[in-house]
Structure 1
Amino acid sequence: MTRSYAPPGQLWLLPQSEQEGLDLDRRQLITVVEQAYRALREGGSDNPVKTVIGGGDHRSLSYSMVARDAGSETVCFKAVHEHDPRRSRDAYSFHSFVFLVDDTTGAPIALMDVVKLGPLRSSATTALFARAARPDARSALVVGTGVQAQAALPMLLAALPGLERLQVFGTYREGLRAVQESAGGRDVEIVGDLREATGGADIVIGASGLSASQEVRRDWMKPGAVAVLLGYGIHADVCHRADYRIATDTNQMHATCEDLRGDDGRLPSVDAQLPDILLGRAPARRHPDDVVFAYNSGMAVTDAALGRYMADLAQAAGRGEKVNFW
């Protein structure tokens, strides 16, 4: 049965407020994102490299992405504008949306705000990296206190329920409290010594913003640990000196991680990509003692799959607004 989201000539809008309170099962969210990555290799899906624009004065950062998720037959167009990304002008703002289209009928699905969608798909990807590279993990450290950091621990716990010790490092009191509250009643320790905390963590998640005051170094990490970078908070030397490097997509990594390049402008080779790891075509590490660096670059194919999933939940709940548009 073909689902209708809006009458011809109308567009269904799903702002942030209309996405709050949806009945989201994090384990199911991880499954949806995993299936989107698998479909990139199993045929039908596509995810071209994002287009990025950023001024030399760091006034703003903008990028756009397009992708097709074969599993849900959804095409996604995504646009992001981040003003004052380094928070150096006291003028920070973030605006983004995804436009979803049903590729079986050609009919628009929705125009969605991504304040909720983005952190969900990024944290699900982080959980997939962590579960693949360190399935026996008992401790996790989150570096950062913003929206991405607040989404990290609950998704990680959904993927690795055996985690026993949870820690967070940051400088903003309200953000630290929000990360603690995100863990659903589990104890989250606020740490003041980043080096010491890193030395005891099986999983380190770099989720800080551009204004990160401290960064994890390779020498601080214990054998067998995995560092997942989806923002900032992990130094480039972890990438360069890791024993094994994995990424969501090598080309995407090269397009988006200028800050990780060495003095010669180069990046080290990537040993495996997440879709191949999930399909069992490549290992997530070579040896148990390998320090693994994982680069979590946002991929629009996961926005397409997860956006469609959330749109269906929102429609069932009677959310959103239909407006005359075309």
Structure 2
Amino acid sequence: MTGRANGRPDGSRTGRAPLLVLDRAQVTSLLDMAEVIRVVEQAHEALSTGAARQPDRSSVELPGGSSLLVPMVAAVDPLAGAGVKLLTDTPSNAGRGLPVQQSVITLIDPETGACEAVLHGAPITLFRTAAASAVATRHLGRPGAATLGLVGAGAQARAHLAALARVSDFNQVLVWSRTRATVEAFAEHARAQGYAVKVADGPEQVVREADVLCTLTPSRTPLVRGEWFRPGLHVNAVGAPPRPDHREIDTAGILRSRVVVDSFPVASSESGEVLIPVQEGVITSEHYRTELGDVITGRAPGRRAEDDITLYNSVGVGIQDVAAARLVVDAARRQGLGTEVDLF
């Protein structure tokens, strides 16, 4: 990267800074899970207090195909970050050997309004999603949780293991996946991190034995049933795509849980996890009105009792992406990484 000065001694900017472009490998090398957890928690706190803003988003189905286009706009004042993540969800890509979800993030200079950076979105999505689960587990999980249960054993399982280890002292990991090779590779990875790992026969075993459960599959139909939940369980429902007809947890699971969402407006338009039970007339929107940021700030209660069943419904929001992207861009500037492009 060819750097050049674009600021005054007082920190204000002069001239037009070049656009910084960071590819997937560069973004991955600059991400630190502990730091991502920190800024994701700050971003949700800022959303609760009004210091962060993200407008209601509208997903667009692209004509002639299966792709869903999801623009995610956010500004997080305390972190000096603003930008847009553009996510596409294309189920037919699974048959092409391409990622089903793809994204790019643009970061905006909040002082000048100029586009400051363009980043590959996948690594940031991976880290910030696991980081948000860690934040939710810190505020909603039961103290002394010993067993982490994972339904799904892919990249998100590895990221969640790394993130949740920073907020809970697990001594056992219980995991299940439809694909034997995937679950065996994860088990080897987790054992190398020093964990006792048990491969479950199915999702029911994972759910019944876990203290903290993470569901990490792109399922359209429920893999996890509420009748399996035991008192004191905390669930991070993560994997379902942002579509109102997709869910991993059945209606009974939502009904039995104290549900906390990343964003009430987003969940109300995109999360099948809560929208299907509403359509069935089993719950109302009041059942999932509590946002994670309000639990962090104390504006709303989280876990009330040791036997509570809590569930964090993770759809994914722009404040998380912008906060993590700010970290990456600042680190890239310090280390001289990336490609600068002068659009002017």
TM-score w.r.t. the length of structure 1 is 0.88
Show the counterpart of 2:6. Answer: none
Compared with structure 1, are the counterparts of its residues 57 and 187 closer, same or farther at alpha carbon in structure 2 (3 Å cutoff)? farther
Structure 1: how far apart are the matches of 2:331 and 2:12? Answer: 13
Structure 2: how far apart are the matches of 1:108 and 1:123? Answer: 27
Structure 2: how far apart are the matches of 1:259 and 1:86? Answer: 23
Question: 1:69-84 to 2 correspondence within 5 Å?
Answer: 69-84=76-91
Show the counterpart of 2:297. Answer: 279
Structure 2: how far apart are the matches of 1:121 and 1:257? Answer: 18
1:110 aligns with 2:117: yes
Asked if 2 retains the 8 angstrom alpha-carbon contact of 1:50 and 1:63, the reply is yes
Question: 1:58-69 to 2 correspondence within 5 Å?
Answer: 59-69=66-76
| SS of residue matched to 2:311 | strand
What is the CA distance between 1:270 and its match in structure 2?
A: 1.4
1:163-209 deviations in Å (ceiling 9; x for gaps): 12112210224432453426734333222232122111111111112
1:215 aligns with 2:223: yes
Structure 1: how far apart are the matches of 2:225 and 2:100? Answer: 30
1:286-321 deviations in Å (ceiling 9; x for gaps): 332122222012111111111101111122222110
Show the counterpart of 1:148. Answer: 156
Show the counterpart of 1:290. Answer: 308
Identity %: 22
Show the counterpart of 1:228. Answer: 236
1:201 aligns with 2:201: no
Compared with structure 1, are the counterparts of its residues 72 and 90 closer, same or farther at alpha carbon in structure 2 (3 Å cutoff)? closer
| SS of residue matched to 2:122 | coil
Compared with structure 1, are the counterparts of its residues 198 and 32 closer, same or farther at alpha carbon in structure 2 (3 Å cutoff)? same
1:9-45 deviations in Å (ceiling 9; x for gaps): 7321011021233362x22221111111111122331
Structure 2: how far apart are the matches of 1:51 and 1:253? Answer: 12
Q: Would you say how many aligned residue pairs link Structure 1 and Structure 2? A: 322
Show the counterpart of 1:255. Answer: 269
Structure 2: how far apart are the matches of 1:15 and 1:52? Answer: 25
Structure 1: how far apart are the matches of 2:339 and 2:15? Answer: 12
Structure with the larger helix share: 2
Q: Could you say what the CA RMSD is over the residues aligned between the two structures, in angstroms?
A: 2.8
Any runs of at least 4 consecutive aligned residues in structure 1 with deviations exceeding 6 A, and if so which? 55-58
| SS of residue matched to 1:158 | coil
Show the counterpart of 1:172. Answer: 179
What is the CA distance between 1:263 and its match in structure 2?
A: 7.8
2:183 counterpart letter in structure 1:
L
1:80 counterpart letter in structure 2:
L
| SS of residue matched to 1:272 | coil
1:221-252 deviations in Å (ceiling 9; x for gaps): 11110111111373232443224111111111
Structure 2: how far apart are the matches of 1:126 and 1:85? Answer: 28
Q: Structure 1 residues 257-266 or 13-22, which shifts more? A: 257-266
Candidates 11, 31, 47, aligned match of 1:2: 11
Structure 2: how far apart are the matches of 1:120 and 1:57? Answer: 32
Asked if 1 retains the 8 angstrom alpha-carbon contact of 2:150 and 2:206, the reply is no
Candidates 314, 317, 329, aligned match of 1:311: 329
Asked if 2 retains the 8 angstrom alpha-carbon contact of 1:58 and 1:86, the reply is no
TM-score w.r.t. the length of structure 2 is 0.84
Compared with structure 1, are the counterparts of its residues 147 and 188 closer, same or farther at alpha carbon in structure 2 (3 Å cutoff)? same
Structure 2's unaligned 5+ residue stretches are: 1-9, 241-246
Asked if 1 retains the 8 angstrom alpha-carbon contact of 2:124 and 2:325, the reply is yes
Structure 1: how far apart are the matches of 2:326 and 2:223? Answer: 36
Asked if 2 retains the 8 angstrom alpha-carbon contact of 1:36 and 1:301, the reply is yes
| SS of residue matched to 2:277 | coil
Asked if 1 retains the 8 angstrom alpha-carbon contact of 2:139 and 2:295, the reply is yes
Asked if 2 retains the 8 angstrom alpha-carbon contact of 1:87 and 1:211, the reply is no
Compared with structure 1, are the counterparts of its residues 219 and 23 closer, same or farther at alpha carbon in structure 2 (3 Å cutoff)? closer
